[in-house]
């Protein structure tokens, strides 16, 4: 998140220290506290940076933890934050939507450049922009298809669920008895639920969308959408939006609640886990009987290679084999084989045997593991588990005492299984300069002392080189002047 230059720490290992009391704010809400680490130890000064944007091109906020900020700078920062907020409030967008749906079809326009529903009085202001005409009610009920997806994988990453995954998730939730869905960063699932609610009177599932993309406030009321940053648990609408979420989590008339979240895959797992725990704590605070010893049911949709990180924060979670696919992602598609299969899975704190996966897609129930697994996930008698993570059949390594990917082989030098073409690295190799362990050549104390000792000689050498160059230039200049004089004399003799 931090960038080099201007006294800022250069890219390296950064440790998230979490949200700090009284942290300064950027346009994305309260910032997070970070520290640069080396070999697992904190090194250097702590600093605040944006919670949502890991690229400084998207948000360049930076402040040292112990830095004293002047009043002038604080005022300028507040003004900057105000100027980078949406042009309309959520309430204003709701009123605009009510006026928009009353317009006849030929007068319904959507500006593609501003990503905004246009009222007739605003047409002239957007006359040189590209816009869509004749916006139908169906399009208004499917805003994720009307809006351009924000595809910054570290900040927004609106890779939208394919219809297959949406239908599966919704049917699974209904079968499990959930009637309220807290949709954190899942706009496609939210709009499918909202569409069913408007079309079917008997459809009893409700959804509340929490998302950092404020464009959705044009299509949903305050009771259907909250502008929310899942990296710092910040409700942009303040206490009113927080109360909306709290009321939604209250399980009224036995309506069970589940949270489904699909965060950006490049986001910080630590920050996400912190926010999700706060949402789960909010659910516990609803004072319902039996909440004391329970967790709010959660579906966290994330790539399988983050399994260990997620389990560090949520030991009660387990990973399902279901492959989630997306409409606007070139690789995360259903039906592919081998290494091209979608790596996105469902992590949940529900009992694995409760999650029924579609048998028509090749999933089957393992009676030993008591869960549904993919067709390529064969049960290993030695591990006593269905061990595959990526959908391919894994093989057991006797030396590693575990199952590994089919493309891996055991390396005796590394003493573990890895790809056949790899560079063996021994952990006992020390510095190339002094031979000691614990640091690299670039940070060797001996090298730094040698450089310091050689600095005076280096300066002397540089001065000598300058003198030699000046002498050469002078001699060349003298030769050029003498040669020019001879040329002039020869011309005079000839004439």
**pLDDT value at position 7?**
45
Residues in the chain with pLDDT values less than 70? 1-13, 39-40, 42, 151-158, 287-293, 328-339, 425-495
Separation CA 399–CA 412 (nearest Å): 10
Residue with tokens 């979240």: 261
Kindly report, residue by residue over 44-92, the tens digit of the pLDDT. 789 999 999 888 888 999 999 999 999 999 999 999 999 999 999 999 9
Specify whether the CB–CB gap between 182 and 279 falls below 8 A: yes
**pLDDT value at position 422?**
86
Question: What is the reported pTM?
Answer: 0.80
**pLDDT value at position 346?**
97
Show contacts of 427-430: CB within 8 Å, 24+ apart: none
Residue burial 128-158, b: 16+ Cβ < 10 Å; e: rest: eeebeeebeeeebbbbbebbebeebebbbbb
Reported as half-sphere exposure (CB side, CA atoms, 13 A), residue 402 has a value of 10
- Two structure tokens written together for 81: 């934050």
**pLDDT value at position 330?**
57
Question: Which sign does the torsion angle of CA 128, 133, 135, 139 carry?
Answer: negative
**pLDDT value at position 251?**
79
**pLDDT value at position 223?**
96
Residue burial 206-232, b: 16+ Cβ < 10 Å; e: rest: bbbbbbbbbbbbbbbebebbbbbbbbb
């Amino acid at each position: 998140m931090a960038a080099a230059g201007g006294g800022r720490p250069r890219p390296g290992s950064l440790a998230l220290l979490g949200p700090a009391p009284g942290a300064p704010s950027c346009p994305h809400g309260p910032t997070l506290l970070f520290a640069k680490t080396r070999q697992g130890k904190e090194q250097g000064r702590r600093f605040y940076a944006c919670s949502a944007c890991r690229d400084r091109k998207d948000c360049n906020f930076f402040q040292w933890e112990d830095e004293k900020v002047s009043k002038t700078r604080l005022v300028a920062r507040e003004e900057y934050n105000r100027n980078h907020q949406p042009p309309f409030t959520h309430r204003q967008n709701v009123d605009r939507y009510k006026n928009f749906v009353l317009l006849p079809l030929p007068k319904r326009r959507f500006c593609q450049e501003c990503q905004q529903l246009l009222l007739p009085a605003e047409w002239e202001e957007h006359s040189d922009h590209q816009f869509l005409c004749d916006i139908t009610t169906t399009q208004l009920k499917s805003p994720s298809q009307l809006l351009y997806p924000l595809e910054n994988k570290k900040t927004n990453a609106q890779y939208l669920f394919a219809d297959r995954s949406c239908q599966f998730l919704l049917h699974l939730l209904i079968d499990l008895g959930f009637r309220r869905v807290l949709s954190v960063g899942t706009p496609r699932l939210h709009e499918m639920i909202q569409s069913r609610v408007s079309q079917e009177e008997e459809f009893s599932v409700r959804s509340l969308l929490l998302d950092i993309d404020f464009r959705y406030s044009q299509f949903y009321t305050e009771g259907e959408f909250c502008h929310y940053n899942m990296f710092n648990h910040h409700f942009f609408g303040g206490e009113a939006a927080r109360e909306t979420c709290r009321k939604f989590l209250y399980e009224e008339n036995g309506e069970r609640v589940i949270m489904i979240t699909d965060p950006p895959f490049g986001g910080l797992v630590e920050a996400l886990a912190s926010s999700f725990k706060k949402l789960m704590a909010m659910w516990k605070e609803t004072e319902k009987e039996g909440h004391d010893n329970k967790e709010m049911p959660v579906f966290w949709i994330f790539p399988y290679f983050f399994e260990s990180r997620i389990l560090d924060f949520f030991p009660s979670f387990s990973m399902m084999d279901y492959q989630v696919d997306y409409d606007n992602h070139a690789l995360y598609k259903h039906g592919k084989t081998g290494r091209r299969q979608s790596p996105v899975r469902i992590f949940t704190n529900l009992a694995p045997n409760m999650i029924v996966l579609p048998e028509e897609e090749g999933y089957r129930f393992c009676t030993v593991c008591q869960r549904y697994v993919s067709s390529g996930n064969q049960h290993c008698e030695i591990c006593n588990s269905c061990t595959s993570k990526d959908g391919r059949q894994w093989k057991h390594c006797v030396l590693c005492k575990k199952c590994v990917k089919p493309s891996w082989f055991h390396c005796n030098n590394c003493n573990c299984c890895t790809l056949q073409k790899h560079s063996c690295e021994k952990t006992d190799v020390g510095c190339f300069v002094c031979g000691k362990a614990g640091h690299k050549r670039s940070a060797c104390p001996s090298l730094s002392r040698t450089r310091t000792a050689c600095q005076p000689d280096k300066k002397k050498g540089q001065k000598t080189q300058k003198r030699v160059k000046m002498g050469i230039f002078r001699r060349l200049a003298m030769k050029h002047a003498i040669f020019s004089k001879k040329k002039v004399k020869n011309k005079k003799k000839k004439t």
